[in-house]
Structure 1
Amino acid sequence: MAVDLARHSVWSAAQDSLALRAIFETITAESCPYLFNFHIHTVCSDGKLQPEQVIEQAIAIGVQGLAITDHHTVNGYRKAQEWLENWLWSSFDTPRACNAPTLWTGMEINAEMLGIEVHILAYAFDPDHGALRPYQQGGTAVGAAYRAERVIQSIHEAGGLAVLAHPARYRRSPAMLIPEASRLGIDGIETYYAYGNPSPWEPSPKQMMEVSALGTMYGLLNTCGTDTHGLRLMQRL
């Protein structure tokens, strides 16, 4: 019975978009990477970390909440969540169980907006919802499913939150992309992002100020993440 309750708790928390929205409302430049990290890749897409290693490092760092956002797949999330569930059960009634992070569902999806390709991060969605099936095939969707409007709509249909990843990394400026993303129904923007590979990790000040101001103007949530592709959760590469 206790095992079933633990399993239900872990997997249901992963799709709690209201709880995640409340966290996004508190995110600041100091939130990442020690408290929260909402942009991580594993070997299930183009990263180097095993999903289990992500959780091991998150526990060691003391991260409170995170999301694995592999490109067009939730396989990394599923493996990490299973490992976390087993770890929680093995730690049942021990002090270390109190340090377990919350792992939300996550995925990074390619989409077309204003004639260029952008990346949209999906969070706290039902990974088995049919609306997201076109985006879980390991590659970029085609046709109408490739449009940002459709991607955002599909994430919402699956109960999740949609966030524009690294808004200052595209061939169009944040001043063009963020208003359009807002018009299409985006929930938030990745305000706190390192556009180089600084060590230690920290958000890029110039881009952060511009993106943050636009987010405030359009009433969008703020997120943060290291966009880890290497072997350390604290760095991008």
Structure 2
Amino acid sequence: MVANSFVTTYNSQVAPLSVQHSHLNQVFKAIDGGSCPYSYNFHLHTTSSDGQLLADELIEQAFELGLKGLAITDHHSLNGYYIAHEWLAHHPTPLSNLPQLWTGIEISADLLDNEVHILGFAFDPHHPSLIPYLTSMTAVGNDYTATAVIDAIHQAGGVAVLAHPCRYRKSADQLVAAASLLGIDGLETYYAYDNPKPWRASPHQTVQVKALAQQYNLFTTCGTDTHGKSILYRI
């Protein structure tokens, strides 16, 4: 009963989805090169997909680092999010001193005959539009198209972001132009393509993607794309 009381209290204090969405939009508008990895991190993986950190280990690191906000973006799974949510719900620290945890996911999709990854944030995790993307496997058929993925995230009330736009076979210019026509909301602008330690966004790609975000009036996000044991790096 005590544990359930903690969860009920935490859930009652968490802002409604519409408020979380509005807050996230404000955060994205303020994201810059210094936001990641010590203030915000919007690209993180756990053992629920292909990461090495357990979800409770990841959220504990986020708390100890003093992160203001984050999203766990496992591939085609929300299990890590739910575990981290429970960790926060049972933590004795006041909600105002805990990091903001938004729903997150990374979904593989076809865009211009090129497989890309689309990040979803601040969506209703129980919305039926997401069912094809919560199987721990890449969707097939029409569900695999970027159009379907972006639409599903939007139907669930979320924000759709093209992950690491400079990491694909086709150019960022081509992919962003196409994604913009489909309703993409943002670009992962601050990303470390060469996995440096300490983490830093790759300068050349950052300039390119930031210019594209401005050209198409898209949000900019940042993330370490953590797959290893520290949320400060990719591996």
TM-score normalised to the size of structure 2?
A: 0.94
Q: Distance in 2 between matches of 1:115 and 1:2?
A: 47
Secondary structure of the structure 2 residue equivalent to 1:201: coil
1:110 counterpart letter in structure 2:
S
**Per-residue CA shift, 1:55-78, capped at 9, x if unaligned?**
111111110000000000000000
Corresponding position of 1:199: 197
- CA 1:116–1:3 in structure 2 vs 1: closer, same or farther (change >3 Å)? closer
**Per-residue CA shift, 1:138-160, capped at 9, x if unaligned?**
10001111000110000000000
Unaligned runs of 5+ in 1: none
CA contact (8 A) 1:194 1:204 kept: yes
Matched, 1:106 2:99: no
Match of 1:141 among 136, 139, 142: 139
Match of 1:49 among 26, 50, 53: 53
Match of 2:114 among 107, 113, 116: 116
Count residues with an aligned counterpart: 231
Secondary structure of the structure 2 residue equivalent to 1:131: helix
- After TM superposition, give the deviation of residue 17 of structure 1 in Å: 1.3
1:221 counterpart letter in structure 2:
F
Q: Distance in 2 between matches of 1:198 and 1:91?
A: 33
CA contact (8 A) 2:110 2:144 kept: yes
| 1:9-48 aligned within 5 A | 9-10=13-14, 12=16, 16-48=20-52
CA contact (8 A) 1:14 1:104 kept: no
- Percentage of identical aligned residues: 52
- CA 1:77–1:14 in structure 2 vs 1: closer, same or farther (change >3 Å)? farther
1:31 counterpart letter in structure 2:
S
Secondary structure of the structure 2 residue equivalent to 1:109: strand
Corresponding position of 1:75: 79
**Per-residue CA shift, 1:149-181, capped at 9, x if unaligned?**
110000000000000000000000111011111
Q: Distance in 2 between matches of 1:67 and 1:24?
A: 13
Q: Distance in 2 between matches of 1:149 and 1:197?
A: 30
CA contact (8 A) 1:14 1:105 kept: no
**Per-residue CA shift, 1:121-147, capped at 9, x if unaligned?**
000001110000000001000111100
Corresponding position of 1:131: 129
Q: Distance in 2 between matches of 1:195 and 1:148?
A: 23
Q: Distance in 2 between matches of 1:80 and 1:132?
A: 20
Task: Give 4+ residue runs of structure 1 displaced > 6 Å after superposition.
Answer: none
- CA 1:102–1:83 in structure 2 vs 1: closer, same or farther (change >3 Å)? same
Corresponding position of 2:69: 65
CA contact (8 A) 1:36 1:66 kept: yes
Corresponding position of 1:91: 93
Match of 1:234 among 229, 232, 235: 232
Unaligned runs of 5+ in 2: none
2:68 counterpart letter in structure 1:
Q
Q: Distance in 1 between matches of 2:7 and 2:108?
A: 37
Q: Distance in 2 between matches of 1:84 and 1:50?
A: 14
Aligned CA-pair RMSD = 1.6
Corresponding position of 1:167: 165
**Segment of structure 1 superposing worse, 98-107 or 220-229:** 98-107
